[in-house]
Amino acid sequence: MTEPKKGIIRRFFSALFKTISWLRVALINLFFVVFLIVFITAIMNNAPVVEIEEGSVLLIAPEGVIVEEASVLDPIEAILATQDEDLETRLWDITTAIKEAASDKRIAALVLKLDGLSGLGMVKAEEIARALQVFKQAGKPVISYGEYYSQANYYLSAQADEVFMNPMGGVLLQGFGVYRNFFKSLLDTLKVNFHVFRVGEYKSALEPFMRDAMSEEAKQANLHWLNQVWNGYLTSIAEARNLNVETLATTIEHSDEALREVNGDAAALAIKMGLVDDLFDRPSMEEELINRFGESADGGLKAVSMRTYLNQHFMSLQESSSPEIAVIVAQGEIIDGESVPGAVGGDSLADLIQRASEDDNIHALVLRVDSPGGSVTASEVIRKELQRFQASGKPVVVSMSSLAASGGYWIAAGADKILADANTLTGSIGIFGAIPTLEESLSHVGVSTDGVGTTPLANAFRIDMPMNPMAASLIQQNIEFGYRQFLEIVASGRAMDLEQVDTIARGRVWTGFDALEKGLVDGNGGLDDALQAAAEIAELGDNYKPKWIRPEMAPLQALVDGFLNAKSEVLMSWVKGFGLQSLALKQAWLLKDPRHRYVLCAECAPL
């Protein structure tokens, strides 16, 4: 190739790389400019304080999953996470807005619109239902409207004075269940040996790797609490709607026959069953509400959104010197080290407890637990930090949300008082470990392993060799020791003897209703009840305020958090207009206990 031709090719690729580099910088700058434009627009459009008119309707229309505490996301992921499954609404925000509106003379009624929900557990629904009762006791009506009602959403909507639905909708009540995939035959086919170490015949977390079907012990335990929760669900909506609970249960069990009698019209069946009061399409529903509560200046319903109402409420709060009760949330699986979205790190939560301990204006701590457990080591780190807090003379009260099982109960057991909802899943006091080995799989494809070591344990934890008998003995002894530790922690915290704890342990899951009878909790109640209990123990009377202790965010995270939340109504319409979707993968729970011991309730799915 001649020199001129080489020069032309060199200049071509040089120009190409420069163009690509320029495009990359331009796209980054464009994204930053869009970010600033949306941010400034959101601030400018929301700067004035919204005047709430007399007779306004408070619209409660949460989106995504109802959570105890919002996840702290990576800033870019937070901006791009605009899909419904990525959205979260804090339970405390909903209940606070409802209870504040109950005594607000400007608010005449409340409208529930729950179609945007993708996750609402029974316990969280009951917390909201209690707030709705406060609102109704103030003499103000609650109205629910939905395009379609899922089982979870309907439980909450049934608490309304009137329930309306789109004529194209329906109400799906299907009961509760626990179903899991089982992999024993698959593992046998793949020649994988799964070595399980556990204590407690009800500790069924690893059954999918040991069996091809659920054990009778697991079926018995699961059906016991499932029936309790389902009967409570039916009783609650029957009382709220003035229905006969036996008739309701029978109709649900024969839903196909009931639907056939109304020619397959699900909306007509909902009316016939008394689950819905009337049918409206969207325009007709808005017209009906305007006729009842008045029209705004722009011709729509005279309403205020929950987010706008909360923003104004918090802006109007004056600083006070009232003593504080710290509220810390333990939400998700318990893992070692630092927290990740969807899980609580032992070190991270211990740091939050320490921060609360060092605050002289904090006189008590309420730990809100919504966790199926996880790492023994991380659970013990949290429990020890709670003990240090108590040693300073300040009480700890645990408030159980949907789940406080296994490691979730480990960290709760030593509290001065434990409160749970009747439908909370708790207990599951047991421990397990597991190690798979692949020696047969490898042998099947012609791979073998051999060698020498200085002791019988030198090859103890190789997955390409058969399970070392001495290692198996050591692990099982360690698991049994961990179980005795668990029993001792519960016995000490609950003032029970070891034999008494063992009879209600063995890995069995209990509802909050049963847990009260068994002595695992001190009472049934929600977060407000836990705050009051903490105030009583700390002798604060009614002169206290909650202080949420949350992970400290990096400056960019704090900016994005304010960007997304404080100005969310304007912002999200802008961001969704660009059609952006989440580009980040959800981080899964990591089994990384340093001693490979876990107190996890895998079957405890919040209902």
Q: Are 385 and 353 in contact (CB under 8 A)?
A: yes
Distance CA 308, CA 443 (A): 65
Residue appearing with tokens 């925000």: 93
Question: Which residues have a Cβ under 8 Å from the Cβ of 401 and sit 6 or more positions away?
Answer: 68, 121, 123, 124, 331, 368, 369, 370, 421, 424
Supply the DSSP string of 522-563, one letter for each residue.
SEE--HHHHHHHHHHHTT-TT--EEEE--PPPPHHHHHHHHH
In angstroms, what CA-CA distances link 462 with 114, 439, 446, 457? 51, 9, 18, 10
Amino acid occupying residue 606: P
3-class secondary structure, 214:
coil
**Helix or strand holding residue 359 (H, E):** none
Q: At residue 10, what is the residue type? A: R
506 Ramachandran zone, left/alpha/beta (phi>0; psi -120 to 50)? left
Q: CB-side exposure of 258: number of CA atoms within 13 Å? A: 20
Spatial CB neighbours of 276, under 8 Å, sequence gap ≥ 6: 149, 163, 164, 165, 171, 267, 270
Question: Token pair 């063992």 is at which residue?
Answer: 502
Structure tokens at 424: 């909370």
- Residue 371 phi/psi, 5-degree rounding, is -145, 140
Radius of gyration of the chain (CA): 28
Q: Which of 394, 401, 408, 405 is closest to 422 using CA atoms?
A: 401
Q: Specify the DSSP class assigned to residue 49.
A: P
Helix pair angle (555-565, 568-577), 10° resolution: 90
Give CA–CA dist 277/288, Å, rounded. Answer: 14
Spacing of C-alpha 117 from chain mean position: 13
> What is the three-state SS of 19-51?
HHHHHHHHHHHHHHHHHHHHHHHHHHHHCCCCC
Residue 187 one-letter amino acid:
L
d(CA 152, CA 449): 53
Query: Across the strands, what pairs with 198?
Result: 432
Q: Name the nearest CA neighbour of 508 among 233, 176, 177, 223.
A: 223
Please give the Cα distance from 560 to 39 (Å, whole number).
Answer: 9
CA proximity to 252, closest of 350, 146, 190, 170:
170
Q: What amino acid positions are annotated as catalytic residues? A: 203, 406
Contact 426, 601 (CB under 8 A): no
What value, to the nearest 5°, has the Cα angle with vertex 130 and ends 129 and 132? 65
